[in-house]
């Protein structure tokens, strides 16, 4: 979390401009160093560290990041506006040089160490993704990368990145890439029209803050995963801090009693945010007003409150020391927590606190022997060009560390040059796969395709073609496959567990003259039951269901083929807190299928695939010579899937066909990760496209009995 790094901007503004200065009797201007602000940094980093340690009674600790945003906006803007008022010039070179020498040495060190530790500790399968994250963090756009991944359903099994916390640094740096330029433009206009700079900078600031806040509220309600990371929803928070900086001449003249009341109320608001806000609170949105305005109040009132304000608490040496160390602490604690979790599994709160406590050591060492020596080096102080050059080299070092990690992934069991296509499910006895020894787990395969390290990429092209509707959207998207001129139309409807079959259906459709049309949406079962997401009603799924049903009635196919990954639905849609159960899902499926049958549309249900309970492809990548380590029990895997819920609904409904290919996916009592040289699973319980394609003849045979 960038600690309000110091900087100035240099650009010529006519020296004839002489701002009017006022002196307030018996009250000197506020000092540039504010112990209470440094103490607020300690509060902010403490909130974040305790939250990341897993301490449950501080559920809103992540709001400490928002506290940092306000502080940074205040400090940087205060420096820039003083520069304009006092000298009539600002220096872009000085500004960016100071940020480079303050931020980049510590960041580059953490990124390099994190790359090495990730290589040594994290699963091999994560190197490519995390290496890309490290490179993006070095360039300060990792927040957009994380935002993109947060809404990528296919990336659901990617664990927390060891540099995920760099998202907030990226937000700040993106803001300060343009904010000094914005101030310069206003300063030039002010100089030309002989206007007071602070007032017009306030107008410019409002032009940034108001749209950002409105957008934050909207995007948080419509796409919260993206809203959390992107810069556009956070600019208003930095702008609030900047606004306090612009108002300091007035705020410093407040009555001490009033200023103290404002500051203490602000500190109370920040404290309340740590306990009242939870991960269920839509964030940032309007809820972020509590810590943001609270922090602004602490800073605004603290200038005049003196010892009657929170300075008496925030200004104690321990808080000031932690505040000075906050940037380094923020950088170091998160990679240590993530990598400790990768090494030892889920951490308990006391273990998380130990890791956080240990992070003080590398943070202090880096601060004392890297950050301060480089920042105050004579060559850095004298030459902004040298500082910028150093910053560029450190950025390149961070990029190199990330790319080296990403490229360190080994190739696993590449097929021989003369290898024929892997048979996959074709090796199994079509009549009795359950008794076929080729379905038993073995320790080694001659070769494996797809490469386990690339398994997450072995997905249907339908994703790239925009056929899968996102979680947030209720739009009906239809994609056409198979034979476009076919006499028989089959509609594939459901979630990603339905869409995983599209490549086999495409082949079968072309061979049989069947037109295949897809209607799929992430995590959304085709049912009249109400589902939940993030403990709330999954309204977009309900809306999508109704719209798709209307579409099917208006343009009826010959057959609807449906599948799903969910086995439960809300027992009480008016109270999502009561949770989900099987009964409502069974009833919802029967009702939905009944609507189709009443419209003259046949229904076939494709059984959900067994749930491994872990990432099989990752296990195979780590154990290519001990594949039995990646096998799992068939019984629990089917029980945990939606197959039994679907089967019960089919049996009770009585008018839908049942297609169950699980004997060709897990033929033995212990499910093998590889059959016929083909890796079966990619993310979660999704099948690789390669294995699905080997099941095409089995799917074709089942459909022929229904269609013919």
pLDDT tens sequence across 214-257: 999 999 988 888 999 999 999 999 999 999 999 999 999 999 99
| Closest CA relative to residue 206, chosen from 171, 174, 246 | 246
SS3 at position 516:
strand
Alpha-helical regions (H) of 522-642: 539-554, 582-598, 616-622, 634-639
Per-residue pLDDT, 1: 39
Q: What DSSP line would sit under 369-397, residue for residue?
A: IIIHHHHT-HHHHH-HHHHHHHHHHHHHH
Rounded CA gap, 36 and 38, in Å?
Answer: 5
Confidence of residue 411 (pLDDT cuts 50, 70, 90): low
The dihedral region occupied by 228, where left means phi > 0, alpha psi between -120 and 50, and beta the remainder, is: alpha
Distances (CA, A) of 254 to 248, 263, 329: 10, 12, 35
What secondary structure letter does DSSP report for 81?
A: H
> Taking a C-beta distance cutoff of 8 angstroms, is the pair 522, 453 a contact?
no
Q: What is the pLDDT of residues 119-152, one digit of tens each?
A: 999 888 889 899 999 999 999 999 999 998 875 5
Residue 157: alpha-carbon gap to chain centroid:
12
Whole-structure pTM value: 0.81
Which residue would you say has higher pLDDT here, 474 or 379?
A: 474
What integer is the mean pLDDT of 80-91?
Answer: 76
Burial class (CB in 10 A: 0-12, 13-18, 19+), 648: middle
pLDDT in tens, 271-287: 999 999 998 898 999 99
User: Does the pLDDT value for residue 27 go beyond 60?
Assistant: no
C-alpha–C-alpha distance, residues 626 and 629, integer Å: 6
Give the CA radius of gyration of the chain. 30
How far is the C-alpha of 170 from the C-alpha of 124, rounded, in Å?
Answer: 27
Residue range 20-42: mean pLDDT, rounded:
64
**Position 7 pLDDT exceeds 60:** no
Q: 40-44, 341-345, 557-561, 659-663: lowest mean pLDDT where?
A: 341-345
Task: Indicate the pLDDT class of residue 88, thresholds 50, 70 and 90.
Answer: low
Predicted confidence (pLDDT) at residue 443 exceeds the cutoff of 90: yes
Q: Which residues have CB under 8 Å from 700's CB, separation 6+? A: 508, 511, 512
The neighbouring-strand residues paired with 604 are: 561, 657
C-beta of residue 64 within 8 angstroms of C-beta of residue 47: yes
Contacts of residue 647, defined as CB under 8 A and 6 or more positions apart, other chains included, come to: 607, 658, 660
Confidence at residue 414, expressed as pLDDT on a 0 to 100 scale: 62
Q: Name 631's Cβ contacts closer than 8 Å, sequence gap at least 6.
A: 441, 670, 671, 672, 673
Three-state DSSP state, 492: strand
Among the residue ranges 141-155, 207-221, 655-669, the one predicted with the least confidence is 141-155
pLDDT band at 31 (very low <50, low <70, confident <90, very high): very low
* Overall average pLDDT of the 260-267 stretch: 96
pLDDT of residue 2: 36
Alpha helices (H) in 223-316, listed in sequence order:
224-229, 235-246, 248-251, 256-276, 289-305, 311-314
Distance (Å, whole) CA 518 – CA 520: 6
Query: What percent of the chain lies above the pLDDT cut of 70?
Result: 92
pLDDT at 418 over 90: no
Residue ranges and CATH numbers for the domains of the chain are: 50-89+96-342+350-406 (no CATH), 424-707 (3.40.50.1110)
Burial of residue 706 (number of CB atoms within 10 Å: 0-12, 13-18, 19+): middle
């Amino acid at each position: 979390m960038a600690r309000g790094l110091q900087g100035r901007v240099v650009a010529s503004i006519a020296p004839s401009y002489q701002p009017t200065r006022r002196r307030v009797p018996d009250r000197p201007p506020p000092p540039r160093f504010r112990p209470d602000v440094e103490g607020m940094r300690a509060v902010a980093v403490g909130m974040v560290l305790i939250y990341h340690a897993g301490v449950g009674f501080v559920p809103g600790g992540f709001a400490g990041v928002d506290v940092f945003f306000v502080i940074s906006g205040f400090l940087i803007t205060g420096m820039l506006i003083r520069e304009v008022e006092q000298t009539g010039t600002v220096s872009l070179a000085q500004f960016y040089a100071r940020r480079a020498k303050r931020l980049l040495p510590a960041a580059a060190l953490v990124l390099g160490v994190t790359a090495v530790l990730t290589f040594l500790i994290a699963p091999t399968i994560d190197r490519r993704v995390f290496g890309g994250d490290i490179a993006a963090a070095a360039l300060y756009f990792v927040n957009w990368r994380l935002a993109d991944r947060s809404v990528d359903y296919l990336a659901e099994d990617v664990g927390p990145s060891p540099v995920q916390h760099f998202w907030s640094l990226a937000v700040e740096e993106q803001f300060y890439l343009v904010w000094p330029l914005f101030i310069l433009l206003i300063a030039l206009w002010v100089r030309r029209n002989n206007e007071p700079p602070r007032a017009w900078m306030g107008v410019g600031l409002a032009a940034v803050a108001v749209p950002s806040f409105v957008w934050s509220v909207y995007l948080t309600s419509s796409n919260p995963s993206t809203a959390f990371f992107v810069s556009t929803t956070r600019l208003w928070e930095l702008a609030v801090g900047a606004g306090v900086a612009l108002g300091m001449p007035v705020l410093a003249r407040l009555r001490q009693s009033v200023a103290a009341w404002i500051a203490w109320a602000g500190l109370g608001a920040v404290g309340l945010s740590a306990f009242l806000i939870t991960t269920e609170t839509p964030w940032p949105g309007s809820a972020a007003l509590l810590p943001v305005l609270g922090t602004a109040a602490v800073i605004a009132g603290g200038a005049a409150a003196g010892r009657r304000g929170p300075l008496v608490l925030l200004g104690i040496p321990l808080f000031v020391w932690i505040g000075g160390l906050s940037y380094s602490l923020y950088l170091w604690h998160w990679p240590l927590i993530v990598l400790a979790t990768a090494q030892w599994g889920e951490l308990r709160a006391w273990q998380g606190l130990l890791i956080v406590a240990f992070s003080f050591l590398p943070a202090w060492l880096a601060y004392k022997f890297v950050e301060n020596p480089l920042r105050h080096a004579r060559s850095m102080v004298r030459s902004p060009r040298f500082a910028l050059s150093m910053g560029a080299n450190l950025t390149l070092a961070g990029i190199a560390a990330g790319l080296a990690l990403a490229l360190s992934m080994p190739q696993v069991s590449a097929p021989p040059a003369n290898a024929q296509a892997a048979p996959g499910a074709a090796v199994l006895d079509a009549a009795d796969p359950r008794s076929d020894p080729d379905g038993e787990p073995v320790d080694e395969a001659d070769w494996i395709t797809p490469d386990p390290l690339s398994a997450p990429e072995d997905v249907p092209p339908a994703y790239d073609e925009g056929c899968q509707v996102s979680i947030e959207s209720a739009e009906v998207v239809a994609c056409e496959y198979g034979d476009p001129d076919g006499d028989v139309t089959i509609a594939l409807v459901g979630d990603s567990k339905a869409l995983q079959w599209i490549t086999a259906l495409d082949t079968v459709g072309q061979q049989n003259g069947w037109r295949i049309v897809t209607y799929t949406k992430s995590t959304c079962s085709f049912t009249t039951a109400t589902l939940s997401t993030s403990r709330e009603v999954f309204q977009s799924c309900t809306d999508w269901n109704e719209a798709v049903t209307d579409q099917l009635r208006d343009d009826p196919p010959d057959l609807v083929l449906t599948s799903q990954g969910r086995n439960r639905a809300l027992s009480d849609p008016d109270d999502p807190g009561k949770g989900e159960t099987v009964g409502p899902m069974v009833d919802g499926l029967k009702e939905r299928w009944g609507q189709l049958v009443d419209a003259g549309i046949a229904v076939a249900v494709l059984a959900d695939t067994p749930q491994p309970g872990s990432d099989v492809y990752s296990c195979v990548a780590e154990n290519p010579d001990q594949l039995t380590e990646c096998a799992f029990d068939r019984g629990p895997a089917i029980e945990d899937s939606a197959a039994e819920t679907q089967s019960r609904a089919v049996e009770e409904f009585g008018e839908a066909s049942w297609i169950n290919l699980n004997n060709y996916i897990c033929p033995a009592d212990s499910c093998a990760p590889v059959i016929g040289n083909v890796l079966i699973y990619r993310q979660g319980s999704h099948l690789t496209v390669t294995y699905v394609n080997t099941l095409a003849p089995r799917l074709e045979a089942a459909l022929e009995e229904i269609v013919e």
